A and B are shown apart, each in its own frame.
Chain A
């Protein structure tokens, strides 16, 4: 049962504190994995704890602990205050209480199916999916996993914030590895852990998992005999499950305001975007419209307010190709004087919130998939991320995909393996020449976005239509 948070906070407050807040996070997760037609792994995870935060002369201090014992919370609050007091003379910015708004809100992930599904049924599905992939001796690994996380967050503060959120995140992974001699190929359901969404068990589409698994195995085998992706500069068409990665690495991270302000330089890196670019920079072609959108119900990082209580609403970050707003929380907005979004998020109760992506999407355009292909004389259509790397200023990237088909004369052609491409972020996006209509739109997410010091990993959502890019350096594996 949830404790009385306000009472806990009031009882813990050190004398003379200007402002204080208490955030409780409880994560209950369970997951199952099958391999090669057999059970492989089952886990449960329950993690609950508290972060108490105090403000002293514009400097926040925090202390995180699992105990809700009033004495322990009091000690924690004292330690947070000691740290804030020691740091205040050397603070990077003197924050006001405005960065912890008195928001009152409730949010719950929408679910069509409310009843829970037992471990027996989930494992049985996972085993069946791997059985469906065993269509050849050349399949050396058939793996399937299912995971669900229930994340409860409660926030109260001395300025009367009262927030309760309950997110249910469901994820699945299906993967086949095929091998023949020295050639090994992997094919998966939308890339590693690409299927992560909010909702109930309807997200998994349990009834159609076997068909999907068999197709994955067939494509893995198909890749074994496919030729290498040719090296050429040509047009590139990306499926939504690769657009997810393209948006994440070359739009999302560069637009994080804490990177622009230099906070991340020692670890995750900086960005080529400068404060003065906001409002003026042509980031991409006029077809490029990027939104921070916490309102798509099934997307992985939808929520009512971020972890400092800033209510989340949809905002355009890039409008008709022009950068209009960055991914900056209230703290970053106060430091920079620039507009932002509700994105100060933490991995859990044991980490302080920082600027993150949440749902970051490319808005649909007007073209059907066939129209996009028809506009390509010579190119490659790539699906499902396999490899990702980008420099610490988010310029020079190289990404690889699992599966690709040549495009010749406006039509899909032969399958090719080891497809890779490289480029420079802004140049790449300025060559965006086609954006698919809503029928090509896919909603994906990943639980693995890493950043911050101390390090934090967080779930983000990305949705995009199929897109086409001109003049991209494309290549295959080593001959």
Chain B
């Protein structure tokens, strides 16, 4: 398999085979994730590891006699082998299903429809990768910084087909340079350069643009005592909070099972700022709207409006179990393509608006510290600065915060910026991720640092 086209062929053949094998009383949904990627990991502006990966992971959910089971297997691109693997998977789920008790909330695929969205890119030849990525990075070394990170490029594909007649395909070719420029002090500027059409000049220009930030970062770091500070949180830093809309988050099941940290918001015991709005927004074009049952979500779903919870993410399974209308959420009920509403502040004047306080460009390793109160702890990271009267004074020694979402997005939220940034998801656990978020900057009062 060498291209998105090969992956699509592989997916379609597998769908045809499995759907053609189904017997009366059986139903299935086939979910597909694939990629053909090149990776180059670099450190000190030099190559640490380089290679390529082809993946074509298929996940077959089988329904019969009120039994449900999912079986995943990897496709190879060799037709005879893939027929064998798909047939084995079907045999396996038929056998296993007969051993299982009834699934009380089984939801059969019920939606038809099809879609095909393919976005081609212009990427680098393998031989070009080290020079194209690391050559322009030499400018950072000349500025006294280490160039560290990961370059990845290639095709990313998602597909779904069901026995109800749904068949959807989404493929995109893109590149991501996820990098940081480290000074000997251990301070760094972090950034992501991503797109679909490789442009050497644009990339070199992007690298050159971080040099002024390195100059500011080169000053001795200031150690601040724990306490409450006025802070400006950039869109990149805010992105670290995005997983917390899903994890113990806004899913209906999560609420019902007591895992959500938003129960107080749901019950009306707490609220957020009237200026805070959260929407699931597929118009961003970052990932497909279909889920594993072939259901297609609305282009926009408002989740929090004016600080009040107006919708949760509801899957077909939750619909069946709790009687709440589904909004075509995936079974995980994760928020996809989140967008936080813009405010009135001018991001260009962020430092002036901050006045005296901490400019937070990145955060690290966040975790819920107290579910009931919606408290999250985490660390500042990379280029965070102490600012006085609108001027950067010095980078700060990293600090730990511990704050409730009801304060951060609530009574302590002073405003959001008019401009928003599209922050791409760069994760690659198992496979390269799709998605991202549209986020403003936040001005927050009395943000508590504890260590």
Q: Does A279 contact B (CB under 8 A)?
A: no
- Which residues from chain B contact A68 at a C-beta distance below 8 Å? 76
Chain A interface residue count, Cβ-Cβ cutoff 8 angstroms = 92
Known: A83-B129, A266-B148. A72 touches B77 (CB 8 A): yes
Binary per-residue interface labels of chain B (360-379) against chain A in the complex, 1 for a CB within 8 Å, 0 otherwise: 00001111111111010111
Q: At the interface, yes or no: A82 with Cβ under 8 Å from chain B? A: yes
Q: Mark B34-52, 1 if CB is under 8 A from A, else 0.
A: 0001111111111111111
Quick check: is A86 within 8 A (CB to CB) of the other chain?
Answer: yes
Q: Is the CB of B43 within 8 A of A262?
A: yes
Question: A-B contact count, CB below 8 Å?
Answer: 286
Query: Residues 376-397 of chain B: 1 if any A CB is under 8 Å from the residue's CB, otherwise 0?
Result: 0111010000000000000000
Q: Report yes or no: A454 in contact with B39, Cβ–Cβ below 8 A.
A: yes
Given known pairs A92-B48, A127-B101, A269-B364, the reply for A182 and B264 (CB within 8 Å) is: yes
| Complex contacts, B99 vs chain A, CB 8 Å | 118-120, 123
Residue A159 interfacial (CB < 8 Å) = no
B451 x A83 contact (CB < 8 A): no
Question: Does A350 reach chain B (CB closer than 8 Å)?
Answer: yes
Interface flag for B267 (CB, 8 Å): yes
Q: Is the CB of A455 within 8 A of B367?
A: no
Within 8 A of A (CB), among B421-438: 427-430, 432
Given the complex, which residues of B lie within 8 Å of A85, measured CB to CB?
127
- Given A84-B50, A87-B50, verify A389-B72 contact (CB < 8 Å): no
**Within residues 364 to 400 of chain A, which ones have a CB less than 8 A from any CB in chain B?**
387-393, 396, 398, 400
Contact code string A139-173 (vs B, CB < 8 Å = 1, else 0): 01101000000000000000000000000000000
B49 touches A389 (CB 8 A): no
Q: B126 at the A/B interface (Cβ < 8 Å)?
A: yes
**Is A389 within 8 A of B370, CB to CB?**
no
> What's the Cα separation between A398 and B47 when bound, in Å?
35
Residues of A within 8 A of B96 (CB): 30, 42, 44, 119
Q: For residues 387 through 420 of chain A, which have their beta carbon under 8 Å from a beta carbon of chain B?
A: 387-393, 396, 398, 400, 418, 420
* With A90-B46, A262-B44 as contacts: A391 and B103 at CB distance below 8 Å: no
Task: Establish whether residues B89 and A46, one from each chain, have CB atoms under 8 Å apart when the complex forms.
Answer: yes
Q: Point out the residues of chain B lying under 8 angstroms from A66, CB to CB.
A: 54-56, 74-77
The distance in angstroms between the C-alpha atoms of A350 and B186, with both chains bound, is 32
Q: Tell me the nearest residue of chain A to B88, going by C-beta.
A: A46
Interfacial chain B residues near A420, Cβ < 8 Å: 369-370
The answer to whether A350 and B53 touch across the interface, beta carbons within 8 angstroms, is yes
Give every chain B residue within 8 A of A182 (Cβ-Cβ).
263-264, 267, 269, 372
Residues of B with C-beta under 8 A to A388: 367
Write the chain B residue with the least CB distance to A59. Answer: B47
A263 to B42, CA, bound (A): 7
Q: Taking the complex as formed, is A278 at the interface, i.e. its CB lies under 8 A from any CB of chain B?
A: no
CA distance in complex: A470, B7 (Å): 58
Q: Is the CB of B398 within 8 A of A396?
A: yes
A33-74 CB contacts (< 8 Å) to partner B: 35, 38-49, 51, 53, 59-69, 72
Interface: A440 (CB within 8 A): no
Once the chains bind, are A389 and B451 in contact (CB under 8 Å)? no
Partner of B258, one of A40, A48, A60, A179: A179
A392, B51: Cβ atoms closer than 8 Å: no
With contacts A64-B53, A182-B269, A391-B400 taken as known, whether A270 is within 8 angstroms of B369 at the C-beta atoms is no
A80 touching B52 by the CB < 8 A rule? yes
Name A31's closest neighbour in chain B (CB-CB).
Answer: B70
Instruction: Pick out which of these stretches binds chain A: B14-22, B177-185, B286-294.
Output: B177-185
Q: Are B381 and A392 in contact (CB under 8 A)?
A: yes
Q: Taking the nearest CB of chain B, how far is it from the CB of A209, in angstroms?
A: 17
Task: Give min CB distance, A89 to chain B, whole Å.
Answer: 7
Give A69 to B53 CA distance when docked, in angstroms.
16
Asked if B150 and A453 make an inter-chain contact with CB atoms under 8 angstroms apart, the answer reads yes
Asked if residues A263 and B52 are in contact (CB atoms below 8 Å), the reply is no
Q: Say if the beta carbon of A477 comes within 8 Å of chain B.
A: yes
Residues of A within 8 A of B402 (CB): 398
- Interface: B348 (CB within 8 A): no
Interface string of A104-134 (1 = CB under 8 A from B): 0000000000000011100110010000000
Chain A's closest residue to B57 (CB) is A47
Cβ contacts under 8 Å, B430 to chain A: 347, 350, 457
- Using A83-B51, A127-B101, A389-B365 as known contacts, say yes or no to A44 and B264 having CB atoms under 8 A apart: no
> CB < 8 Å: which of B128, B263, B372 contacts A477?
B372
Question: Contact between B55 and A92 (Cβ–Cβ < 8 Å)?
Answer: no
Chain B nearest CB, measured from A213 CB (Å): 16
- For A424, the closest partner residue in chain B by CB is B451
Give, as a whole number of angstroms, the nearest-CB distance from A42 to chain B: 4
Provide the residues of chain A in CB contact with B1, threshold 8 Å. Answer: 65, 67
Interface assignment of B68: CB less than 8 Å from any CB of chain A: yes
A183 at the interface (CB under 8 A from B): yes
- Which residues 129-162 of B sit at the A interface, judged by CB distance below 8 A? 129-131, 134, 146, 148-150, 152
CB-CB nearest in chain B for A473? B451
Minimum C-beta distance from B251 to chain A (A)? 13
**A62→B74 contact, CB < 8 A:** no
Number of B residues near A (Cβ < 8 Å) is 100
Determine if B78 is an interface residue (Cβ-Cβ < 8 Å).
Answer: yes
B298 at the interface (CB under 8 A from A): no
In residues 62-113 of chain B, which contact A (Cβ within 8 Å)?
68-78, 81, 85, 88-89, 92-93, 96, 99-104
Q: Is the CB of B70 within 8 A of A83?
A: no
Q: In the complex, are the beta carbons of B190 and A266 less than 8 A apart?
A: yes
The answer to whether A90 and B134 have CB atoms under 8 Å apart is yes
**Cross-chain contact A391 with B370 (CB below 8 angstroms):** no
Closest chain A residue, CB of each to CB of B404:
A478
Say whether B377 contacts A387, CB under 8 Å. yes
From A395, which residue of chain B is reached at the shortest CB distance? B398
Q: Do A59 and B50 have beta carbons less than 8 Å apart? A: yes
B314 at the interface (CB under 8 A from A): no
Residues of B within 8 A of A61 (CB): 50-51
Q: Assess whether B129 is in contact with A86, with CB atoms less than 8 Å apart.
A: yes
Given contacts A66-B75, A182-B372, A263-B43, contact A79 B451 (CB under 8 A): no
A179 to B257, CA, bound (A): 9
How far does the alpha carbon of A174 sit from the alpha carbon of B393 in the complex, in Å?
Answer: 51
Chain B nearest Cβ from A74, distance in angstroms? 14
Contact in complex: A392, B73 (CB < 8 Å): no
Is B259 engaged at the interface, CB distance under 8 Å to the other chain? yes
- Residue of B71, B76, B100, B451 near A69 (CB, 8 A) is B76
Residues of B near A262 (CB, < 8 A) are: 43-44, 146, 148, 182
Complex CA–CA separation, A143 to B257 (angstroms) = 10
Decide if A227 is an interface residue (CB 8 Å cutoff): no
Which residues of B are found within 8 Å of A236, using beta-carbon distances?
none
Q: Do B429 and A450 have beta carbons less than 8 Å apart?
A: yes
> Is residue B352 contacting chain A, with contact meaning CB distance below 8 A?
no
Are A389 and B378 interface neighbours, CB within 8 A? yes
> How distant is the Cα of A53 from the Cα of B52 in the complex, in angstroms?
10
Residue numbers in B under 8 Å from A350 (CB-CB)? 53, 55, 430
User: Known contacts A46-B72, A400-B369: does B398 contact A392 (CB below 8 Å)?
Assistant: yes
- Cα distance, A89 to B134, chains bound together (Å): 11
A422–B78 contact, CB under 8 A?
A: no
**Nearest CB in chain B to that of A42: its residue:** B69
Residue A463, interface by CB 8 Å: no
Chain A residues, Cβ within 8 Å of B369: 387, 389, 398, 400, 420
Q: Across the interface, do A453 and B373 meet the contact criterion of CB distance under 8 Å?
A: no
A residues in contact with B152, CB < 8 Å: 454
Beyond A67-B76, A388-B367, A389-B369, 18 additional contacts (C-beta under 8 Å) are: A46-B74, A47-B74, A69-B76, A82-B126, A83-B40, A119-B99, A119-B100, A179-B258, A182-B372, A269-B364, A269-B365, A393-B186, A398-B369, A398-B377, A422-B400, A454-B53, A454-B152, A478-B404
Return 19 A-B CB contacts under 8 Å, by A number: A42-B70, A43-B69, A46-B72, A65-B1, A79-B52, A83-B50, A123-B100, A141-B258, A182-B264, A182-B269, A184-B263, A265-B182, A265-B188, A267-B178, A387-B368, A387-B377, A389-B366, A391-B398, A420-B369
Instruction: Give the top 8 A-B pairs by smallest Cβ distance, nearest first.
Output: A62-B51, A478-B373, A453-B150, A454-B428, A67-B76, A92-B46, A141-B257, A177-B258
